[in-house]
Amino acid sequence: MASRSLGGLSGSRCGGGGGGKKSLSARNAAVERRNLITVCRFSVKTLIDRSCFETIDDSSPEFNNFAAILEQILSHRLKEIPQSCRWLAHLQIPLQGQVTWFGYESPRSFWDYIRVACRKVSQNCICSIENMENVSSSRAKGRAWIRVALMEKHLSEYISTALRDFKTTRRFYDDGAIVLGEEANMLAGMLLGLNAIDFSFCLKGEGLDGNFPAVIDYTPYLKFTQSSDSISSDEEELRTLGSSGSESSTPENVGPPFIMDENSWFNKCKRVKQKYQLTLEQKGYLEELLRLRENQLSESVSQNKILLQRIEDSDLAHKLEKEQLEYIIVELQDQLKSYQSLDQLSAEVSLSQTSLDPSHSQEGDGKQDTLNLITEGKEDTPSLLGLCGSLTSVASYKSLTSLKSNDYLASPTTEMTSPGLTPS
């Protein structure tokens, strides 16, 4: 019974220890993922700040650090090739790293995942990197891809496309990898800001050497703040540590850190001065552009006033022309009415002639001749002259009005008794 109880107690202790190990490993994995993402965000900000003053190339320490961070993120919890699959090395299936006919030449790198997951990107550089002569190892090809993608301003697009292919990502990475967690979306978003930088790289340099792993330099992102509750200063603490370590150590040993601090302040002051000069140049450019736009605006306003005056003049001319045309229309209508009354008068004369005796035909002929003389003696109609623009048809209108009277036409009774119109 005692042995059984001891056995149960030992079993429960082992079980509790297993749970603690799992929680500790999960905590370590979460901290590792968070550290890499945070450092990557700092690195991107540093690159953007540096690009304002100089061109980013292979010699830039900010870029080298960023490339190392991105390589560590894409290599985080990458699956190893199982021993049972090594006999398929000569087939070069997507699960392999750099292979030869005799087996593996180098372990798998993130390039094996990128070349499979990013082939759906339009106009991708996968084939061109595969055919590079001076790049042989898989790690070197991955580093060349980072540089080419940055120069093409498509690194964020490559990463987003690869992360959307979740099936391929699960095939290449173990659980707990950054590319499988929530941090992957943050990674694609923060890399989008690099599209505003113009990179210039040489794809034949030492940075593509795949024989050495990438190492991250954390010192540019570390900052220690002196606590207000601290009794001694940083200088005193460094002196104390130096004296406790060796008797021959002197306070001058702590000089270089402070000299480096002064240099860092000098570099910051220099950067601020450069930003100030750049801001002044931009201010002058914007002021000159503002003056140019103001001149253009004043010219446009003056031209607008001229066009408005022309429109008003044309409207006035159109109104006068309209009034003249209306006057001509009224005049033509009056002339048309006078002609209609003249036609009625001639019709009445013809009816009176037909009602008379035939013996008075000569008298009718004489009256007809008189009517013809009256018609021929009348001036030409002014309607055509009016259409041609003449408005001096008042005399013709008076003549037409005079024709309405009976002074020029004799009644049938007067014509019979008039001695001048008696037949011979």
Least confident of 59-73, 140-154, 299-313, 352-366: 352-366
pLDDT value of position 227: 52
| Rounded mean pLDDT, 391-413 | 45
pLDDT value of position 205: 66
Q: What's the predicted TM-score (pTM) here?
A: 0.50
Give the pLDDT band of residue 154 (cuts 50, 70, 90).
Answer: very high
- What b-and-e string marks burial along 145-175, b requiring 16 or more CB atoms within 10 Å of the CB? bbbbbbbeebbbbbbbbbbebeebbeebbee
Both tokens assigned to 271:
């950067």
pLDDT value of position 101: 39
Q: Say how many C-beta atoms besides its own lie within 10 A of residue 264's C-beta.
A: 10
pLDDT higher than 70, residue 301: yes
pLDDT higher than 80, residue 57: yes
Largest CA distance in the chain: 181
Of residues 163 and 396, more confidently modeled: 163
Nearest Cα to Cα of residue 200 among 84, 63, 335, 37: 63
The H-assigned helical ranges of 101-137 are: 110-117, 126-130
Of residues 303 and 13, more confidently modeled: 303
Angstrom CA distances, 184 to 73, 151, 160, 188, 215, stand at: 10, 22, 9, 7, 21
Task: Report the chain's mean pLDDT, rounded to a whole number.
Answer: 74
Angstrom CA distances, 166 to 85, 92, 115, 160, 161, stand at: 22, 22, 15, 11, 10
- What is the Rg, in whole angstroms, of the alpha carbon atoms belonging to the chain? 54
The top-scoring range by mean pLDDT among 141-150, 177-186, 387-396 is: 141-150
pLDDT value of position 91: 44
pLDDT higher than 60, residue 241: no
Give the pLDDT band of residue 232 (cuts 50, 70, 90).
Answer: very low
Give the whole-angstrom CA distance, residue 57 versus residue 202. Answer: 8
pLDDT value of position 259: 41
Strand partners, 208: none
Give the pLDDT band of residue 126 (cuts 50, 70, 90).
Answer: very high
